[in-house]
């Protein structure tokens, strides 16, 4: 139940992908790999409004993201918190995630909310409240 | 809600680690990175009986493991199913997981159930029933 230390915050900037977990309607966990971006102490994920992960977040208001280094000893941590689906002012956060996917030095020009809505793009935002299951990292 | 194809089964042998998700008592997902081994269509994870993930499995009878390739485009799949905590005949499965952790060509000599019980070692077994969130893989 740790707090978000500078190291745990910085770790989020070293890996582009993580495993998102939400709670399905039957209470079972649902997991998928997602690209994400960090904005302060928030995690931003671009997805489609019709996706089950988006419906889970609308229903439960909570999500977690487990992030793992891609080489041994696989340093890792799980970041959890209140989550919501955003459809307004999502041009800039969507561009931030696209930059992570593409690896471009700058984010692309932000799209309008209307253009993103036309293709069902939404932003899943997690406000980090807890960091758990931290391995192979200094937590202070 | 796919079935376990030969490719999806084989993928489990290419990566040593995955993200385990269980349901916490409050219904929220709990995630952590674990080493695992495959035994037929079962996933084997060595953990401690006192760990929250073990308690979650005892209570809920279900778990999932999200496995991701460690380089772009990060091929991935989530394997879910009925899960249980084993304390008998766990010497061989525990040794199989230790082999994956160490990368040794052969598993170590199996320990007795009594020796493993003395250090609270248990095996979390998932019987794979569903494969979901498959990305960047042929599923046939």
- B105 within some domain: yes
Name the residue range of residue A121's domain: 6-135
Residue B31 to residue A31, Cβ atoms within 8 A: yes
- A140 within some domain: no
Of A29, A71, A135, the CB nearest to B23: A29
- Would you say A76 and A67 are in contact if contact means Cβ atoms under 8 Å apart? yes
Q: Which residues of chain B lie closer than 8 angstroms to A17, CB-CB?
A: 68, 74
Residue A22 to residue B29, Cβ atoms within 8 A: yes
User: Quick one: which H or E segment has residue A60?
Assistant: helix A52-60
- B1 within some domain: no
Is A73 a residue whose pLDDT tops 90?
yes
Is A139 a residue whose pLDDT tops 80?
no
Q: What average pLDDT score do residues B50-71 get?
A: 97
Q: Which residues of A49-79 are buried (b: 16+ CB within 10 A; e: fewer)?
A: bebbbbbbbeebebbbbbbbbbeeebbbbbb
Give the mean pLDDT of chain A: 95
Q: Residue A73 belongs to a domain with what CATH number?
A: 2.30.110.10
Measured from the Cβ of residue B127, the count of other Cβ atoms closer than 10 Å reads: 15
**Tally of structural domains, chain B:** 1
- How high is the ipTM of this complex? 0.95
pTM comes to 0.96
Instruction: Provide the pLDDT for residue B2.
Output: 75
Confidence of residue B42 (pLDDT cuts 50, 70, 90): very high
Q: How far apart are CA A107 and CA A110, in angstroms?
A: 8
Is B35 a residue whose pLDDT tops 90?
yes
Instruction: Provide the pLDDT for residue A51.
Output: 97
- A68 within some domain: yes
- A70 within some domain: yes
Instruction: Provide the pLDDT for residue B137.
Output: 87
Instruction: Provide the pLDDT for residue A2.
Output: 75
Is B32 a residue whose pLDDT tops 60?
yes
Q: What are the pLDDT digits (tens) for A25-52?
A: 999 999 999 999 999 999 999 999 999 9
Is A92 a residue whose pLDDT tops 60?
yes
Confidence of residue B139 (pLDDT cuts 50, 70, 90): low
- A40 within some domain: yes
- A51 within some domain: yes
Q: What are the pLDDT digits (tens) for B107-130?
A: 999 999 999 999 999 999 999 999
């Amino acid at each position: 139940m740790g707090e978000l230390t500078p190291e745990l915050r910085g770790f989020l900037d070293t890996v582009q992908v993580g495993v998102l977990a939400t709670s399905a309607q039957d209470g079972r966990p649902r997991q998928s790999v997602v690209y994400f971006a960090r904005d302060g102490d928030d995690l931003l994920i671009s997805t489609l409004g019709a996706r089950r992960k988006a419906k889970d977040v609308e229903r439960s208001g909570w999500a977690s993201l487990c992030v793992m280094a891609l080489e041994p000893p696989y340093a890792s941590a799980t970041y959890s918190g209140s989550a919501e689906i955003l459809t307004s002012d999502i041009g800039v956060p969507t561009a931030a995630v696209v930059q992570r996917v593409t690896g471009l030095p700058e984010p692309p020009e932000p799209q309008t909310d209307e253009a993103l809505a036309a293709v069902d793009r939404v932003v899943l935002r997690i406000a980090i409240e807890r960091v758990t299951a931290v391995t192979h990292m200094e937590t202070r």
